[in-house]
Amino acid sequence: MTDISRSIPPIFGTPIARPDIIALFSSGLDSILAAQAIQRQGLSVQAVHFITPFFDGGGREAHLCAHIRKQYGIPMVIADLTTPFLEMLADPPHGRGRHFNPCVDCKLMMLAAARAMAAAWGARGIVTGEVLGQRPFSQRRDTMRIIERDSGTEGFLLRPLSALLLPETEMEKSGFINREQLFGFSGRGRKAQMELAEQWGVTEYPTPAGGCLLTDPAFADRVRELYTGGRVPAAVEIELLKCGRFHSFMPAGFVIIGRNRSDNQRLEALADDRVRQLRLADLPGPLAAIVLTGTPAAAAAEQGDVKPGGAPGTGAGTEPTGKPAAETGPVTAHSPEAAVEITIAPLVTAAARLVMAHSRAKDRPTADLIWRQGKRHGSFTWTAATPQGVPTGGGDSNPDSSATRQSTT
């Protein structure tokens, strides 16, 4: 696993010169007040907003940084924890919450990264907007102590909104930060914070929200599928889960079916060389994004009735009714491309059935389909083994079900 404490993660934006304090910044009311509490003591604060595929800036990082500085007077940079976070999520040392959310290890990772930034930028401490007792697991008094201990930030980590209820930090003991100007908020209510915001002229701030997609039961179940067998998914795989219907054939792979034009466009934009796109050649309909994660044997086992060596896109026990169209570059019997075709064939079969089932071609006995993966592309005629093209393996096989909620931030 990547040791985030030894290096600074990728940063968007330019930090201020030699900040006094690094502030973990979610852009919610508590983090705004925590940062301003330190600024009001005449100290410079560099806010850091961390992102992963589960909580991110929505591709609007520059706008977000500019907005926070203009609206609240807080300089902010964005740090990307995607790679170490995905690795950690396979086996978080402190376990998970109710769903697939590793809240304690998430906070530890942020603090480790902030500690590295503080060392590199010359800051004397770290602050967060945590409020004692606000969250049932990660903000209990005992959990807060564990977080300080395991992140190596004891005496170095200050929580301004609950400081009067917690032990003094070294920054308070030395007089660097005036403890008398800090607060003793606790519990899940927000009345005290809202009154303080009004007093300080903070009139616009986001309403509380779930934030992390790993706390969403449906989305968490799909992410859990991608970690089958101890593998660590790529970031693009997590992004694909955010649109369309999810069908799991793990450990072989998975398929996403677009529900509308917006889904299709998003899936097409996300597809890299690891993602095979499949669609009908002569009718409007869904785009399928196919991701291979396993082996031919695993794929065949998940599909059940598909011959491992069958031609891609054929129905169970049938022969292809047309030859694949010419592809970019020759595919010989022993080439890497041929091995991929054999491996991915069962998933292509499942995807073809799903595309048929969710389109006007669902009653057709055959259909022409086209595919693209990176620079390679081709076409084939698919013959349905079952009249309605219903998939025989994997999860969420109900054609009318909506497998993944749209993410909101």
Q: Identify whether residues 32 and 145 lie together within a single domain.
A: yes
What DSSP designation does 407 have? P
Q: Identify whether residues 375 and 339 lie together within a single domain.
A: yes
Number of H helices, E strands in the chain: 12, 12
Q: Identify whether residues 64 and 108 lie together within a single domain.
A: yes
Q: Identify whether residues 234 and 174 lie together within a single domain.
A: no
Q: Identify whether residues 176 and 89 lie together within a single domain.
A: yes
Residue 118 lies in a domain: yes
Contact assessment for residue 43 and residue 20, using Cβ atoms and an 8 Å cutoff:
yes
If you count them, how many residues does the chain have? 409
Bridge partners of residue 138, in order along the sequence = none
The total domain count for the chain is 2
Position 313 scores a pLDDT of 35
Residue 173 lies in a domain: yes
Distance CA 291, CA 276 (A): 7
Position 147 scores a pLDDT of 92
Q: Identify whether residues 146 and 233 lie together within a single domain.
A: no
Query: Residue 272 half-sphere exposure, CB side, CA atoms within 13 Å?
Result: 7
Distance CA 317, CA 322 (A): 15
Q: Identify whether residues 195 and 48 lie together within a single domain.
A: yes
Contact assessment for residue 132 and residue 189, using Cβ atoms and an 8 Å cutoff:
no
Closest by Cα among 406, 408, 390, 388 to 398: 390
Last residue of a domain, one of 200, 233, 266: 200
Domain around 256? 216-383
Last residue of a domain, one of 174, 200, 226: 200
Distance CA 193, CA 36 (A): 12
Q: How far is CA 268 from CA 21, 123, 259, 265, 365, in A?
A: 42, 43, 13, 5, 27
Q: Where are the alpha helices (DSSP H) in 124-247?
A: 141-151, 170-173, 191-200, 217-226, 235-240
Q: Identify whether residues 196 and 308 lie together within a single domain.
A: no
CATH number at residue 189: 3.40.50.620
Position 47 scores a pLDDT of 98
Residue 230 lies in a domain: yes
Q: How many CB atoms lie within 10 A of CB 75?
A: 19
H or E segment at 296?
Answer: helix 296-303
Query: Residue 318 half-sphere exposure, CB side, CA atoms within 13 Å?
Result: 18
Contact assessment for residue 121 and residue 46, using Cβ atoms and an 8 Å cutoff:
yes
Residue 349 lies in a domain: yes
Residue 267 lies in a domain: yes
Q: Where are the alpha helices (DSSP H) in 253-295?
A: 261-270
Residue 396 lies in a domain: no
Distance CA 255, CA 90 (A): 21
Close Cβ partners of 211 (under 8 Å, ≥ 6 residues apart): 26, 55, 409
Contact assessment for residue 306 and residue 348, using Cβ atoms and an 8 Å cutoff:
no
The vertex-236 CA angle with 234 and 239, nearest 5°, equals 120
User: End-to-end CA distance of the chain, in Å?
Assistant: 28
Contact assessment for residue 345 and residue 308, using Cβ atoms and an 8 Å cutoff:
yes
**Per-residue pLDDT tens digits of the chain, which is 409 residues long:** 566 666 788 999 999 999 999 999 998 999 999 999 999 999 999 999 999 999 876 677 888 899 999 999 999 999 999 999 999 999 999 999 889 999 899 999 999 999 999 999 999 999 999 999 887 667 888 889 999 999 999 999 999 999 999 999 999 999 999 999 999 999 988 899 999 999 999 988 877 655 799 999 999 999 999 999 889 999 999 999 999 999 999 999 999 999 999 999 999 999 999 999 999 999 999 999 999 997 544 444 555 443 332 333 333 333 334 444 444 455 555 666 777 788 899 999 999 999 999 998 888 888 899 999 999 999 999 886 543 433 333 444 333 333 333 332 3
Residue 176 lies in a domain: yes
Q: Identify whether residues 98 and 229 lie together within a single domain.
A: no
Q: Identify whether residues 192 and 220 lie together within a single domain.
A: no
Q: Identify whether residues 154 and 222 lie together within a single domain.
A: no
E strands, 238-293, in order: 245-248, 253-257, 275-280, 288-292
Last residue of a domain, one of 200, 227, 257: 200
Residue 404 lies in a domain: no
* pTM to 2 decimal places: 0.81
What DSSP designation does 359 have? S
Q: How many CB atoms lie within 10 A of CB 336?
A: 9
Q: Identify whether residues 180 and 82 lie together within a single domain.
A: yes
